[in-house]
Homo-oligomer: A and B are copies of this chain.
């Protein structure tokens, strides 16, 4: 049971709704109000966790006891909460697809108390995972021909974040992850070399390389910068020679200094020693901008380990996401707070011919011609439309991302000041948005009118 992963106000509101029988269907829309700076698009992610959460949703006995003992909740309220399960519908953009600001990533339609209580967790999953999948996509755009490896586990925001980061990286085509728990959980490729401490634990650098090559002759990637990088490359070459390692099983990792210059120097030394297929791996404080600069410099780097700045989405560590009530009991609703106006009604997003902007429409409208709906019904009556199988989902999501990346205009993929893609609103949606809400602000001086 998981329902306690929520903000207190969700529980208080749910109790209030339940007391009053306000359990008619509500639709909430989850979307990014704006994109972070330098972002032209978002990669949808987090849906798998949303569905698992919703399937398991409910208050366990010990959770209800906590609410009784620490919040003084009354027996009747606790009984009503105890009966809650999620039995609503979810429409969502599949993971890996590219979306834009204002486009719903997910819409929930369920009895109001249920739809309200799951807000915090759904926002949490979709916000962070889409954010970091987008950061990973930028790394892939920066270095399209290189092998990218997730090295973020140690400075991600907790072990759970580290797992999510590894998965998001795989969605956009990273080759693997250093995170073994994540590799196991999601069926990814675990990758890794050696640390400085390994080199230091031996009496000499060459002794450490020899030991490593003896133990891992199929994949002997030597970390060469513990003392002096060029000296380290020479030691690697000497060890490879002494042990007669095939050059396609050998590599070096650069983790400090001028990576482009050192990669050129290392490549020359390796080639001169006949180790033409030896791989060069680079790491150390990399992000998409560093990758782009290294690629532009012609640095002969085969693989990049990208860690902290990717895993925390350092230049944009949050996303302006929202989960907004857009319809209750058949009545479209919206919010007028400054800077936070929301668009009413359950929606669909249509992707159209290249060059045409996406169209945001009411879900029940007839689709525009030759348009592909992005939101699919992934849960109906609390049950998944498709059985869960996490491993397949990652590769399917990667296929979707590959498709959308090929479709995205280059100017939208730029790492700095990308073009933004406008989203058109359908005529029906515009008409609904402009109708008075009928809801009265301020003191209640008379009956109010629903739409």
B-binding residues in A (CB < 8 A): 4-13, 15-17, 19-20, 22, 26, 28, 63, 66, 70-71, 112, 116, 119-121, 123-125, 127-128, 132, 151, 153-162, 164, 178-181, 183-184, 190-198, 200-201, 203-207, 210-212, 215-216, 225-228, 231-232, 234-235, 238, 255-257, 308-309, 312-314, 317-319, 321, 323-325, 328, 333-340, 439-444, 447-448, 450
A226 pairs with B441, CB closer than 8 A: yes
Q: How far is the CB of A178 from chain B (nearest CB, A)?
A: 4
CB contact under 8 A between A443 and B206, given known A26-B201, A180-B6, A336-B227? yes
Contact A338 B256 (CB under 8 A): yes
Residue contact B157 to A238, C-beta cutoff 8 Å: no
The one of B17, B127, B232 in contact with A154, judged by C-beta atoms closer than 8 angstroms, is B127
Min CB–CB distance A353 → chain B (angstroms): 35
Max count, chain B CB within 10 A of own CB: residue among A71, A205, A225, A439: A439
Given known contacts A9-B194, A200-B325, A443 and B336 CB-to-CB distance under 8 angstroms: no
Chain B residue at minimum C-beta to C-beta distance from A13? B198
Report chain B residues within 8 Å CB of A19. 215
Chain B nearest CB, measured from A419 CB (Å): 25
Chain B residues contacting A22 (CB-CB under 8 Å) are: 201
Q: Is there contact, CB below 8 Å, between A441 and B9?
A: no
A227: min CB distance to chain B, Å: 3
> Are B337 and A225 in contact, CB atoms less than 8 angstroms apart?
yes
For A116, what are the chain B residues with a Cβ–Cβ distance below 8 Å? 195, 197-198
Q: Which of B4, B11, B128, B226 contacts A158 (CB 8 A)?
A: B128
Partner of A153, one of B7, B212, B226: B7
Q: How many copies does the complex hold?
A: 2
What are the residues of chain B within 8 A of A210 when measuring CB–CB? 444
| Pair B335/A196 contact, Cβ less than 8 Å | yes
Residue of B nearest to A334 (CB): B200
Quote the shortest CB–CB distance from A179 to chain B (angstroms). Answer: 7
The answer to whether A256 and B339 touch (CB under 8 A), given A123-B154, A156-B157, A198-B16, is yes
> A190's contact among B26, B71, B256, B335, by CB below 8 Å, is which?
B71
B325, A442: Cβ atoms closer than 8 Å: no
Among B13, B157, B238, B255, the residue within 8 A (CB) of A197 is B13
Query: Which of B20, B211, B312 meets A157, CB within 8 Å?
Result: B312
Closest beta carbon of chain B to A440's beta carbon, Å:
4
Q: Please tell me if the beta carbons of B192 and A8 are within 8 angstroms of each other in the complex.
A: yes
Chain B residue numbers with a CB within 8 Å of A313 are: 317
Q: Which 9 A-B pairs have the closest CB atoms?
A: A206-B444, A231-B442, A227-B441, A8-B192, A160-B160, A9-B192, A157-B157, A197-B325, A317-B317
Complex partner residue of A164 from B5, B71, B158, CB under 8 angstroms = B158
Give which listed residue, B164, B197, B325, contacts A196 with CB less than 8 A. B325
